[in-house]
Amino acid sequence: MTVPIKQAAEQERFGDFTHVSQNYRYRPYYSYPVFEYIASRIRFAALPLVAADIGAGSGKLVEMLARMGFSGFAVEPNREMLKHGREECSYLRGFSWLEATAEKTGLDDRSVSWVCMGSMFHWTISDAALAECHRILRPGGFLSVVYDLTDIRCDPFQTKVENLIRKRAPGVKRAREPIEAIMPELETILSEAPGFKECVFVEAAHVELMDVERYMRVWDTAHDLRGQLSMSEWNGLKASIVDLARRMDEIPARYRTSAWTVQRV
């Protein structure tokens, strides 16, 4: 059975994280080895351990930065996501949460040593966002554009799920499509941005073990599918995914963290 694609909904739409924010706590963290490597460059440069997470969402990256000894700022434009991020990170000290955009963060000039953009650069007005990052970075500071996608090529189970989605809802636009489109261009975009130099690419794969409940909670963050299918269609698709997932005691969800880092001059 093929699921029809609905018209744009008033309640949920592609790119709107309002209705999925409460489930972002179940998503995996980025690869720690990737972030530890980049953090070592900040330490080697003897810069203050002050970071800005732009598009901080539910605070997964904020938690990682805090564990690595950083303090700083979490910038998030979506009010509901900001609310959940503050709640999830309420136990942390040293990070201030701000409702602002990548193009206009509200942070002071030269106030941070590291700007992180986790899974959100494709949503920005890139020239304006890069200029803003340059403004808030200290000289010699670093900007990292990071993505963590499901590693479909190395994940047989996720391949089955994606094939199921293509069969049930062949017309949906997937969230990873604009990400996969921009990733080959990121080295050029960042290297040619005024005031930045030396783009370094780091990548690592990792496995997140999940039970069925958590795995489906992660699917509840899929703004792309929820924003294009009716609720009954979405629930039917989820039921089919559950049928696949229940055949496994534990789901080894495979992810790949990819990071492009440039230095401010």
Q: Is the domain covering 21-264 a CATH 3.30.1300.10 domain?
A: no
Comparing C-alpha atoms, which of 213, 193, 167 is closest to residue 23?
213
Query: In the predicted model, what is the mean pLDDT of the chain?
Result: 92
- pLDDT: is 194 or 21 the higher one? 194
Rounded to two decimals, the pTM is: 0.90
Q: Is 11 exposed, middle or buried, given 0-12, 13-18 or 19+ CB atoms closer than 10 A?
A: exposed
pLDDT tens per residue across span 71-124? 999 999 999 999 999 999 999 999 999 999 999 999 999 999 999 999 999 999
Comparing C-alpha atoms, which of 107, 103, 34, 99 is closest to residue 65?
34
The pLDDT assigned to 7 comes to 41
pLDDT tens per residue across span 219-234? 988 888 988 898 899 9
